[in-house]
A and B are shown apart, each in its own frame.
Chain A
Amino acid sequence: MNAGDDHRWLDVLAGRDEETESTAAQEAHALRELIRVQSVEESAAVAIVDPLREVELIDRARGAGLLPTRPTPARPTSSMAPAWRRWLFAPRGAFAAAALAVVMIAGLVRILLPPTETLRSVAGGTVRLESRDPPALKQRLIEELSASGVRVSGYERMGRVGIDADLPEPVSPQVRHVLERHHIPIPKDGVLVVEIDARTDR
């Protein structure tokens, strides 16, 4: 078997070459025919529409930051002191405690969680992201891209926050990883322009 022989074999296997003279071609023809039959036989029955599967996919998209996450209801804990419990179970106290808990949890989430962003759109070569904290996300992008060897400059002008960067050619795995983590598509021309809008959680 030589390289030309393998090339011919591949072309016939792919159905691009109708040659039938050489051994490689004969072998590939026979393989092609039988592999095609196998593919049809292997076809598993799959529901075209599966609501459960769709819900799973949407949840996964939320987890990946493509869609805004649903707020989870706050629950009171059962391990509180009796005095607190009496106060808590009084009608006005319960209402106040619930409101306080919601405010505290929302505040904590804002402070402790890393900013999650959603890709809004890409138009005219500009990637638009949404984030709860645009300046923090901008800083994070600058740090992560700089650490991957990319020249990045951040800006805040006219109420807009963003970064400009020149990506290396080809894009290194580290840079690719950073971009994928933030749902930023890799620009074809290597010029990355990102604008970050503030997200108001619904």
Chain B
Amino acid sequence: MDKTLFMRACREGGPAIEQALRELDRSFFAVLYRGGLRALRDPDAARDLVQETFIKVWQRCATFRGDSELLPWIKAILRHAAIERLRQRTHEVPMENHEGLTEAAAECILEISIGHNPTPDQIVRRREHAEHFRRGWTRFLKEDPLHANVMAWVVEDGLAMEDIAQLLGRTPGATREFVSQCRKRARVYLADWYRLAFDHGDSR
């Protein structure tokens, strides 16, 4: 959906909103649903989250100034709503004692980046690493969805520290701590992947 059409419908209101809601659904439901499903891990809850987001989008349509594209703005609304739901479900568990990475493992990760032509053995190992990562990542998303999803959003949309602070409604200091926790928790949930990388020296 084009942002100028969206803004016009917002100004006109009334019947224009109904048509615009349909357009929004057709344009963005699929992409938002995937994000919602990853965050909530429940198809019905994800569908409900996206529809709730579309309603909020219209309730706040006048605040959209057209400076950015429509989708990032809508995604931010969806993520706020997802965070609210995740906060209702989960408890913050500090994991200060879970330092997952040893010096040797750190060296190993350094090796990972060295580009080279993979041998068949390396290809098999990469698949193995990917499988370990997938399992750990799935568990991370399930058991600590807030931290895992913020990491996924960082990868998807390049969120900076300030974006995360805004999304979480936290101070800069608390956000830095949150990011640090993301890193620590990733090491815990993806420990097998880290260990494998250490043992074999290749995780790509």
Contact = CB atoms under 8 A, between A and B. Distances in A.
A3 B60 CA distance: 36
Interface string A1-27: 101001101110111100010010011
A119 interface: yes
11 contacts: A6-B183, A9-B183, A10-B161, A27-B101, A38-B152, A46-B34, A53-B25, A60-B51, A119-B58, A122-B10, A122-B11
A21 to B, nearest CB: 8
B199 interface: no
B13 interface: yes
Given A23-B106, A39-B152, A44-B37, A34 B61 contact: no
Interface stretch (A78-86, A96-104, A157-165, A181-189): A181-189
Contacts of A74: none
Interface in B157-191: 158-161, 176, 179-180, 183-184, 186, 190
B63 A39 contact: no
Interface residues of B, number: 59
A35 B155 contact: yes
B6 interface: no
Interface in A106-134: 118-123, 127-128
Contact of A121 (B12, B133, B176, B180): B12
B18 A35 contact: no
Contact of A56 (B43, B51, B112, B152): B51
Interface in B28-68: 29-30, 33-34, 37-38, 43, 47, 51, 54-55, 58-63
Nearest to A21: B110
Contacts of A36: 155
A35 to B, nearest CB: 5
Interface of B: 10-14, 17-18, 21-22, 25-26, 29-30, 33-34, 37-38, 43, 47, 51, 54-55, 58-63, 99, 101, 106, 109-110, 112-113, 130, 133-134, 137, 151-152, 154-156, 158-161, 176, 179-180, 183-184, 186, 190, 193, 197, 203-204
B34 A67 contact: no
B183 A1 contact: yes
Q: Is the interface of B mostly helix, strand, loop or mixed?
A: helix
Nearest to A47: B30
A143 interface: no
A137 B29 CA distance: 34
A198 interface: no
Contacts of A6: 176, 179-180, 183
A23 B110 contact: yes
Contacts of B12: 121
Nearest to A181: B59
Contacts of B10: 121-122
A61 interface: yes
A90 interface: no
A64 B55 contact: yes
A140 to B, nearest CB: 17
Contacts of B51: 56-57, 60
A23 B109 contact: yes
A1 B100 CA distance: 11
A30 interface: yes
Nearest to B109: A26
A43 B46 CA distance: 13
B160 to A, nearest CB: 7
Given A35-B155, A54-B22, A66-B59, 8 more contacts: A34-B133, A39-B152, A44-B34, A54-B26, A57-B54, A58-B21, A58-B22, A120-B13
Interface in A28-74: 29-39, 41-44, 46-50, 53-54, 56-58, 60-61, 64, 66-67
